[in-house]
A and B are shown apart, each in its own frame.
Chain A
């Protein structure tokens, strides 16, 4: 039953929308009623979006823009840091969303079971989501300092020499990804908790009668039935991971060197340097890349949901 419900909702919603559009003339609001929102939308969203596609094709220094065709895109893909940035973006996005799915589900299972101080524990897990990303970045930069940072100090008590979390080029990206997971796992957990409590207890009771153990319960009931939550978590964290910038910028600025650069930070550096056309081209690339990944993925995930 629960499985069919989202599909049904979608089905009832679509004809309804089509109807309103056809019934435009009979709308209860006069046309001018839409104008303020329309102007707002036009000036702040449509015009800049359109303009960015144009400026991506120009060499633009804010004073004048010279049309250069696709040269910016050519240049952007020749950018030495970009290849690294692309790879890093995907590593970062898939790593963080994977970890959020696994950890989020595990935490949600824990936090929906009968444990002491459940409400308090739930809020503790969710708390990092509420803190500003910049604040988290600055705090962890201090904590992860290789010499005076709390993390390595604690490690040294047990005789371990901690690595340069943010200064070792092979570690920096993973350190930031870990912090991202710490900050974002609360939201994933919340979504999973909502998904878990929506699973009717009857399935578990029936399984118990059939003699299923805990793992079989989880594998055959929880995991398939919590799929809508998984879809949401994967999409949200993947989009977040692909356009990640703030945490990386506050913690490493893409460094040391270019070792933790992602597409977002490469674009920002071009903008900082005054290459406005080039950085706009970068944003168009980012837009296309996210769209190319998320649209098919979203369709695929949602179709699975319906046919299941």
Chain B
């Protein structure tokens, strides 16, 4: 008797607790029937993203006074990845969210969690490259917000002029330039291993050269047939080591952070910095407006092929989770349709410092972009661009930045580093259920 009562009471308490949690989960604003009045968007909290979305929010309010856009932020990087995945898994995602395209997008299980957007009118107007990086085999799920950018060498044009140097197109030319710069008493290559993520750019930005030397490499890589320990991909690791061995780095490379390198470049202390153009463009806009004309960009030169082209990253996509339904869904789709118009691109160019061309037809870059961005346009015009590996293959190992720090600071050899990275990506392949 006593025991039964205890059990019943326990069950009741548990049920109450569950009911409470369920309520908390369902506390999404709006929803259901009737005209949607407010849409909630989940974005990352970097200052540039917040500024961009403040601008878009205000512009959309003018066009469409009936709908209010509410912006909620999450930390950038892997912490944000986990929040996104958790919200999707529990059905608590905002009405829309803004997130990476490519392999990170693929890791969200799009077919299970996102609303397909193939039938929307704007789909025809977006760049084919972008369309592939927000699609699975079954459908397209994302619309671009933001501009593309490249992983390349940012260089100081004044130093090049003073020393009479020319933009290098091969690895040997690049190393000769580095020697000349070092002889002139300047830092040839700035590296910033205090921010470990920056160390990956020389390897990731070299991918155009890999694909140029061995077309179809990315696909074979996904299938486990190609490895970083072999050429042409090994070259990226070798270059990291060569630059270190030759003593071209800044003295404080091990502790310097990203901002230090941009400052060195802008103030003419350093000549080269392999980096993402999107990041540098916004740093110039925020901190070094005077450097807008002196900083240029050229692709990471190759030692394995004669081609010379830019490795390009695609902007983030806008996605709608399956938990958005009814009037909210209609309003969300309408909002997305506006986001891929030239009007929206103009707002984006105004509120942020874009690091490359847009991927929507009819969206032009403003005339006053920094030299960094205008230097990229010729490569786009001639078609000498290729997507970064993370858009062509879902395989990316988590330890790449530690390994590139080791190779780039002489702790580990290029061959060892590349082999270790090949080990590292096996986990990702298993997690994705690939048969390696």
Binding site for B on A (CB under 8 A): 31-32, 35-36, 38-39, 43, 59, 61-64, 66, 71, 75, 78, 80-81, 145-147, 164, 166-169, 253-259, 269-275, 278
The answer to whether A274 and B254 touch across the interface, beta carbons within 8 angstroms, is no
With A80-B424, A253-B196, A256-B254 already in contact, the answer to whether A272 and B89 are too (CB < 8 A) is no
Q: Judge whether B86 is part of the interface by a CB distance below 8 angstroms.
A: yes
Q: A147 CA to B194 CA in the complex, in Å?
A: 13
Chain B residues within 8 Å of A278, by CB:
427, 431
Q: A254-B402, A270-B398, A275-B427 are in contact. Are A167 and B85 (CB under 8 A)?
A: no
Of B82, B109, B196, B433, which contacts A255 at CB under 8 A?
Answer: B196
Return the chain B residue nearest A165 by Cβ.
B255
| Complex contacts, A32 vs chain B, CB 8 Å | 6, 9
Alpha-carbon gap, A38 to B14, bound state (A):
11
Complex alpha-carbon distance, A35 and B89, angstroms = 30
In the complex the two chains form, what is the Cα distance from A168 to B403 in whole Å?
15
A171 CB to nearest B CB, Å: 11
**Contact sample, A vs B, 12 pairs, CB 8 Å cutoff:** A39-B14, A61-B109, A62-B85, A62-B89, A81-B399, A167-B193, A254-B402, A255-B402, A259-B411, A273-B398, A274-B81, A274-B82
Contacts of B411 on A, CB cut-off 8 Å? 169, 256-257, 259
- The answer to whether the Cβ of B113 comes within 8 Å of any Cβ in the partner chain is yes
Q: Which 8 A-B pairs have the closest CB atoms?
A: A273-B398, A167-B254, A257-B406, A272-B78, A62-B89, A62-B85, A63-B109, A147-B252
| B403 engages A63 (CB within 8 Å) | no
Indicate whether A63 sits within 8 Å of B398 (C-beta atoms), given known contacts A80-B420, A167-B254: no
Contact of B107 among A61, A168, A255 (CB under 8 A): A61
Given contacts A39-B17, A62-B85, A63-B85, 4 further A-B contacts (CB under 8 A): A31-B9, A43-B17, A257-B411, A272-B82
- Nearest CB to that of B420 among chain A residues? A80
Query: How close is A175's CB to chain B, nearest CB, in angstroms?
Result: 12
**B211 nearest CB across to chain A (Å):** 25
- Check if B94 is an interface residue, CB within 8 A of chain A: no
- Whether A59 touches B409, Cβ cut-off 8 Å, given contacts A81-B399, A147-B255, A167-B254, is no
When C-beta atoms are compared, the residue in chain A nearest to B16 turns out to be A39
A174 to B79, CA, bound (A): 28
Nearest B residue to A147 via CB reads: B252
Look across to chain B and name the residue whose beta carbon is closest to the beta carbon of A273: B398
Contact of B252 among A39, A146, A270 (CB under 8 A): A146
Chain A residues near B13 (CB-CB < 8 A): 35-36, 39
- B78–A35 CB distance below 8 A: no
Nearest to A169 among chain B residues (CB) is B411
Report Cα–Cα, A75/B397, bound state, in Å.
14
Q: How distant is A33 from chain B, measured CB to nearest CB, in Å?
A: 11
- Could you say which residues of chain B place their CB within 8 Å of the CB of A43? 17
- In the complex, what residues of B have CB within 8 A of residue A66's CB? 433
Is B10 an interface residue, CB under 8 A from the partner?
A: yes
Contact of A80 among B9, B14, B88, B423 (CB under 8 A): B423
Q: In whole angstroms, how far apart are the Cα atoms of A35 and B81 in the complex?
A: 37
Say yes or no: is B430 at the interface (Cβ < 8 Å to chain A): yes
Quick check: is B138 within 8 A (CB to CB) of the other chain?
no
Cβ of A269 to closest chain B Cβ, rounded Å: 6
CB neighbours of A255 from chain B (8 A)? 193, 196, 402, 405
Residue of A nearest to B426 (CB): A75
Min CB–CB distance B250 → chain A (angstroms): 10
Q: How far is the CB of B197 from chain A (nearest CB, A)?
A: 11
- Asked if residues B398 and A61 are in contact (CB atoms below 8 Å), the reply is no
Q: Which residue of B lies closest to A149 (CB)?
A: B255
What is the distance, in angstroms, from B22's C-beta to the closest C-beta of chain A? 14
Task: Give B1-38 interface residues, CB cut-off 8 Å to A.
Answer: 2, 5-6, 9-10, 13-14, 17
With contacts A147-B255, A166-B255, A259-B411 known, is A59 near B431, CB below 8 A?
yes
Please encode chain B, from 85 to 119, with 1 for each CB lying within 8 Å of some chain A CB and 0 for all others.
11011000000000000000001010011000000
* Complex: chain A residue closest to B108, CB-CB: A63
- Complex interface: chain B residues within 8 A of A275 (CB): 398, 427, 431
Contacts of B398 in A (CB 8 A): 269-270, 272-273, 275
Within the complex, the shortest CB–CB distance from B81 to chain A, in Å, comes to 7
> How long is the Cα–Cα vector from A137 to B39 in the complex, in angstroms?
40
Contacts of B79 in A (CB 8 A): 272
- Which chain A residues lie closer than 8 Å to B430 at the CB level? 59, 71, 75
Closest to B6 in A: A31
